[in-house]
Amino acid sequence: MSVSSSKDKGPAGKGRAALQAARAAWGKAGVRREAAVHAEHTGDAAGASESMTPAESAGADTRGALGGGAGTQARSRQHGGGDAETHGLRSGDADTEPHGSRDGGRDAETYNVQAQRTTAGTQNLRGVETGTEAEGVRDRARSTPTSGKEDPALNSGPAEAGVEAHRMRGHGANGQVNGAGVQAQSAWDRGTGSKMPGGRVGSPGLVAKERSSMGGSGIVKPHGTGAQVHSSPGSDAGAQADSAGAAAAAGGQARAESAAALAPAAARTKSRKRLLVVASVSAAAAAVIGLAAAASWVRGLDISKLSHPLPEPGFMLDVNGERVAQLSSSKLVPVPLTQVPENLRNAVIAVEDRRFYEHKGFDLWSISRALLRDLQAGSMKEGGSTITQQLAKNLFLESDKTLTRKIKELGYAIKINFTYSKDEILELYLNSIYMGEGRYGVEGAAQQYFGKSVKDLTLEECALLAGLPKAPTTYSPMKNPDKSLERRNLVLSLMKEQSFISEAAYAQAVAKPIKLSPPKAEDSLQGRHAHYVDYVMDEAQRLYGFTEEQVLTMGLRIYTGMDLKVQQAMEQVYADDSLFPASQGDQPVQSGAVVVDHKTGLIKGIVGGRGKAVYRGFNRATELKRQPGSSFKPLAVYGPALERGYTPESVLYDGELDIGGYKPRDWDGRTRGQVSLQEAVMRSWNIPAVWLLNEIGIDAGLDYVKRAGITLPAADRTLSLALGGLSEGVSPLQMAQAYGSIANQGVLHQAHAIVKITTKDGQKLVEAAPQQTTVTSPANAYVMTTLLQGVLSPSGTGQAAALEGRPTAGKTGTTQLPATPEFQAIGTNGSKDAWFAGFTPELTAAVWVGYDKTDKTHYLTTGSSVPATLFREIMTRSLQGVPVSGFPVPEEIRRAQEEARKKAEEKAAKEREERERREDEAKKREEEREKARGKAAEKQEELRQKIEDWLGGNRDE
């Protein structure tokens, strides 16, 4: 292959002529091209041409050598896009570079390739047939050069009129066009204009090849009387776009149809541009106005509270209005940031706000992520709040998740960020954030959990505290140590990920267990009556919607039904270990008790367990659920039986019983054939209770229990209901409330602790309005009371609960150990739960005793005597000094008793009258007999006298 160069300015001029001819053709078709084409022509530099064989000319994919010849550059700008370069490959030809921008696209270079004419005397081309159609790949075209060899005989004239540049869209397709009249077609796709300028533009056989963004090469191959343009993907440089153009030898016809289709698109493009400009200007103006309004609103926000962020504790008051407990177990102790360990600062930043020192109070990335998740969830669940936003929310806003609150939070955060430095914001946050267990601030939390100052915390302790603000109760190491450990380790991993700690420090810290130290003694009212306070907080949340944070920080005054005398009596009893059985192993015997005023439903005292009370710990008096055993019989069996006409004297069956495979046994293993209802209650026989429930129907028992305030699941619709064999169980609070209905003549008052809640200034926020329900008639309740009084007699099972000199009623209950191999050897010598529920005319109480976890080494052997004894001790101390009174007698019973008394008196009177009558009759008979005897004596005396007189007369004679 030889290369020669010559100085020639002709091609540049011919290229201009070809361009003018093409424009003339477009004009004849009545089309205005919207693409602005600017041609810059230079022609001084020498070019270089490369000689190729006809075979090479047909399919070569190499770029021709460019000399220093004259260059012509044409630019076409659309959509701010890229360039396309077209180089004429002929010695001395112009170097033409049309630049077309489409969609921000890249550069495309197009090289004119000329093929040689055949010797048949026609316009057929060796490389591109007349009518050649080239296909190009669309979108972001960046082409690679393709060179070919031109026929020198064709370099002799301008392009003919009617040349149409058409670039077909495609990807790896072959294009073949046959016929007279060569057409150069260029497809204008999305505003891309690619013309066919260059040396000898429009000469027959001219092929322009464009490489586009899909990569690959374009190859022109001869095929019969026409040519195929092959485009194949695969190159990293981008897809290829092939454009082929050739000028007709004479009378080429322009394709006006394709050109005419461009006019409406151009008009629409201009319209869209105008609308876009108007919309942009309007949006910019609205944004400026909105920003000005937002800035004014932010400036007006009051953040002065940041200078004194101390939460104000509330107080719980007893039934007499006296303060008995503080509703915050500590007060905030602020510390300067310099005393907060760097590990704690870094840990908080790592888990709460990793871009804290970079953003301006809000993090657009976090907000966008949270917004996306909220949209996916269909509710405001994600927060996306920075430390600054959390500080604003905690001090100035409610905790509800609404868009309004989020906007306010954002405004406060912006103002805080402009008012305080980042270190000041972090210090305020660390001193005011709620850390659980009633503690605010890192110093208080360090004292609460580790018993030391925050400055002395270790890395793993810092990580634990940093994990608490997200959910203080959920991640509390006192309540949920497993979750707390998991959260701590997550914080440590984030610190390692963000290069706050090394891999070695992470490995060492994550391997250490959580070690807590007991909190120190508090002030006089702090930590008092923890079990009662816990229930008050639960009730405030459950019934009135207060959050724990509000209860502890808003300075509320919560008036309760607590009787300090009763509460202290209960706490004293539970502090006396001699009243409880010795614990087996490392697990103590536990217990829970509740005392209520059955006439009002007010809870007088609560003890939720033995040992030191833990703030917000498990409350066995209100949260525990265990099977109640025989203490359930008055509610599930005997109560509804009295409503159906049974009396204490009714005879019940007490023999072998098998009802559908259920075979109850009496606790002494014996049967008596028949017993009275009164005896069955007093001695707690099981068979008569099950037999009686079967007689009246299980639904009757379930209905009575529900009226007594205990709703049971469907699984409890069995005959084991008679013996308290429940699937879930009940709490001491539920049992005390239910028994209170018996003590209160059949009327149940809903048990509650809170009377009212006010602000510190006395403004009433809520007031209790407890419901009352009629469980049974006063007469039936009174009869049940008399039956339960018999349980405490010397012959009853609950004699240990009897109060000296004070009427008392109640019922014992025990539950068997599970029928599993673990307890098979123990048999009936142990029990799982022991109960006593009872009442005096003044108070009702329920006591549970058992182990938190029953196993073969932890079970009860004392039966129900322990809870009965605890009941007696609690009631005796609670009622000390209270005058003795009897159980109220219902009017119905009173009338019945009066009628019975009258009948008895009448009967006695009649009997007395009859007796007196009989006595009178006897006296009369005796008098008559006496008279008869006197008359007989007189006659006898008279006869004797006569005899004596006769005998004396005879003697005289």
User: What residues act catalytically?
Assistant: 352, 630
Q: Between the CA of residue 245 and those of 210, 308, 893, what are the distances in Å?
A: 12, 82, 118
Q: What is the 3-state secondary structure (H, E, C) of 525-543?
A: CECCCHHHHHHHHHHHHHH
For the beta carbon of residue 757, count every other beta carbon within 10 angstroms.
23
Burial 371-386 (b: 16+ CB within 10 A, else e): eeebeeeeeeebbbbb
Structure tokens at 434: 């709620």
Strand, coil or helix: what is 937? helix
- The answer to whether residues 602 and 561 touch, using CB atoms and an 8 Å cutoff, is yes
Structure tokens at 435: 């850390």
Angle among Cα 260, 265, 269 to the nearest 5 degrees reads 145
Can you tell me the distance from the alpha carbon of 361 to that of 124, in angstroms, rounded to the nearest whole number? 74
- The answer to whether residues 604 and 619 touch, using CB atoms and an 8 Å cutoff, is no
Structure tokens at 937: 């004596």
- The H-or-E segment that residue 411 falls in is helix 403-419
Q: What is the DSSP string of 727-795?
A: SS-B-HHHHHHHHHHHHTTTEEEPPBSEEEEE-TT--EEEE----EEE-S-HHHHHHHHHHHHHHTSTT
Can you tell me the distance from the alpha carbon of 510 to that of 502, in angstroms, rounded to the nearest whole number? 12
The dihedral built from the CA positions of residue 893, 899, 902 and 908, taken in this order, carries a sign that is negative
Angle among Cα 797, 799, 801 to the nearest 5 degrees reads 115
| Of the candidates 826, 793, 829, the residue with the CA atom closest to the CA atom of residue 812 | 793
Can you tell me the distance from the alpha carbon of 653 to that of 472, in angstroms, rounded to the nearest whole number? 57
Structure tokens at 930: 């006496």
- The H-or-E segment that residue 38 falls in is strand 36-41
